Structure 1
Amino acid sequence: MGGMRIAFGLLTFVTFGMIIGALFQLAFIRRLEESSGIPQWVDDKEAVVLRLGILKPEVLSWSPRIIVFHNFLSMEECDYLRAVAHPRLQISTVVDTKTGKGIKSDVRTSSGMFLSPEERKYPIIQAIERRIAVYSQIPEENGELIQVLRYEKGQFYRAHHDYFSDTFNLKRGGQRVATILMYLSDNVEGGETYFPMAGSGECTCGAKTIKGLCVKPVKGDAVLFWSMGLDGQSDMNSLHGGCEVLAGEKWSATKWMRQRATN
């Protein structure tokens, strides 16, 4: 009889121990779950600026290096950039390899504008600039001014490299190291960003099937890719372009980053 009481007591003790252990484990898991979401950082301004717990990186290619950051911009930030840019849009230009100046070309059929140095000091722009610097690991001062672009139906940007082939543009900040392209609108048919030398498969570019890798424009997402390889040389595989827009308007914001400070 005494043995049964001891056994019952031990069983009860073990059962309660398991229950308490399970509760502790659940509490630990709960803390982990909370640490992966934004509610814990509501009062952490830096975490809010960096969109921790919301932003999700996806590596698409290592050669060339391409990363998509889902939810990089908030919907409000997208709408803000569009509103600031809309009244000041002009026909886009390309860089003349001989003079380094912008010229009109049928290679690029969008309209766009650059934010001013004064606008770069605005809180929303500062937040975006800070986010770009952290996730690209390139100092803010190495970045050019953000350019906002609009592609309407039938407009496109033929394949090109972002690095310079002239000496004029290298004088201020050196070569372009990387580019981040942020999408500002939804409900766009076509308008993909394509990398013809990335991957070995095929993708849909506008109404065409092409070789390479295509990124569909999704409002708030951003594509970060490098124009220079790890060896410090220009990466020819970073060739990219904008597919033809079939319906709707494609809005985007581009920031190029240099080897040195651009100021």
Structure 2
Amino acid sequence: MGIYCCSYDLLRPVLFPFFAALLLVGSSLGRADSDFFDPTRVTQLSWRPRAFLYKRFLSYDECDHLMTLAKDKLEKSMVADNESGKSVMSEVRTSSGMFLEKRQDEVIARIEKRIAAWTFLPEENGESMQILHYELGEKYEPHFDYFHDQTNQQLGGHRVATVLMYLSNVQKGGETIFPNSEGKLSQLKNDTWSDCAKNGYAVKPEKGDALLFFSLHLDATTDPKSLHGSCPVIEGEKWSATKWIHVRSFDKPEKNRSSDACEDENVLCPQWAAAGECAKNPLYMVGSKDSLGFCRKSCNVCSL
């Protein structure tokens, strides 16, 4: 249980207002059998960024089931515009994909519970699972999973964690790469790796494995070392499933807040303000003319 417990302890400072929900998840899933969550299959890949690999997270039958659900529903993948937050087409991302519904069937519901048990993050904070398909030459240029636009921040806040599940093997290429990782120089690579993968710390897609990485530091600030991408497929094809998890509930819309109210929305606001986050992360802490921030009291910007 070492990896499981240690991961939980290290995550405590970044668990935001959903801590009570997190405890409920832990208590209800803590009774799970070893085949539901097996911490012996988890390896820490990196600490900057925080990244972990779970071998055989999905069974082959689960992988095949997800691919079957998606095959006749794939559309050109989109990216989020940095200014508007809207989904737009871009050559940065050339895959095709589709979104499944939450708890669409028993298999998906079981996988979502397993993700919550592994990450200690509530199911309601997760987006619907996205299935992606990469054909020859298709890729996703390095990008961040956290947001700077208010539209997306209001939908559950930043993405704090990403679980990337590999649904197929890839003969060559298709690696997940972290160009800014501190471990990129120490990772040995031979000719089985693509040239793209040699530009950072990389993870080979293997059917059933899952990669968990965090986009925020333990103090809730964004982590630039979480920059990541998908290398072009050189031989074969790549199938994957992505679960993005936010700092707040993604299922429930943000409550309306009065501009006259002088309050913090998070118990950690005074701590973050003391660390200088009012200036470093003003959109979240202070807000803008279009959206109130979440730590206005601690940042001393309330109307008097």
Fold in common (TM above 0.5): yes
Amino acid at match of 1:94: V
Looking at structure 1, the residues matched to 217 and 67 of structure 2 have their Cα atoms a distance apart, in angstroms, of 32
**RMSD (CA atoms):** 1.8
Amino acid at match of 1:226: F
Out of 58, 78, 81, the position equivalent to 1:73 is: 58
- Flag the structure with higher helix content: 1
Structure ID, larger Rg: 1
CA contact (8 A) 2:170 2:233 kept: no
Residue 254 (str. 1) matches residue 237 (str. 2): no
Equivalent residue, structure 2, for 1:50: 36
Query: Counterpart of 1:128 in 2: which secondary structure?
Result: helix
Looking at structure 2, the residues matched to 221 and 209 of structure 1 have their Cα atoms a distance apart, in angstroms, of 18
Structure 1 residue ranges without an equivalent (≥5): 1-44
CA contact (8 A) 1:49 1:131 kept: no
- Normalized against structure 2, the TM-score is what? 0.68
CA contact (8 A) 1:182 1:221 kept: yes
Q: 1:238 to 1:49 in 2, by over 3 A?
A: same
Residue 135 (str. 1) matches residue 118 (str. 2): yes
Tell me which stretches of 4 or more aligned residues in structure 1 moved more than 2 Å: 202-212
Out of 222, 228, 237, the position equivalent to 1:240 is: 228
Structure 2 residue ranges without an equivalent (≥5): 1-30, 252-304
CA contact (8 A) 2:197 2:231 kept: no
Out of 205, 208, 211, the position equivalent to 2:199 is: 211
Looking at structure 2, the residues matched to 80 and 102 of structure 1 have their Cα atoms a distance apart, in angstroms, of 27
Equivalent residue, structure 2, for 1:115: 100
Deviation at 1:98, TM superposition (A): 1.6
Among all aligned residue pairs of Structure 1 and Structure 2, give the percentage whose two residues are the same amino acid.
47
Amino acid at match of 2:77: S
Kindly report which structure 2 residues correspond to 1:75-90, keeping only aligned pairs within 5 A, or say none.
75-90=60-75
CA contact (8 A) 1:114 1:145 kept: yes
Out of 194, 215, 221, the position equivalent to 2:177 is: 194
Deviation at 1:165, TM superposition (A): 1.6
Out of 127, 139, 160, the position equivalent to 1:144 is: 127
- Flag the structure with higher strand content: 1
Looking at structure 1, the residues matched to 197 and 105 of structure 2 have their Cα atoms a distance apart, in angstroms, of 42
Equivalent residue, structure 1, for 2:217: 229
Amino acid at match of 1:170: Q
Alignment deviations for residues 106-152 of structure 1 (CA, whole Å, 9 cap, x no partner): 000000000124xx241111110011011111111100000000000
Looking at structure 1, the residues matched to 196 and 184 of structure 2 have their Cα atoms a distance apart, in angstroms, of 17
Looking at structure 2, the residues matched to 186 and 209 of structure 1 have their Cα atoms a distance apart, in angstroms, of 16
CA contact (8 A) 2:196 2:231 kept: no
Out of 141, 154, 157, the position equivalent to 1:158 is: 141
Aligned length: 216
Deviation at 1:232, TM superposition (A): 0.5
CA contact (8 A) 2:125 2:247 kept: yes
Looking at structure 2, the residues matched to 206 and 222 of structure 1 have their Cα atoms a distance apart, in angstroms, of 20
Amino acid at match of 2:80: V
Amino acid at match of 2:46: S
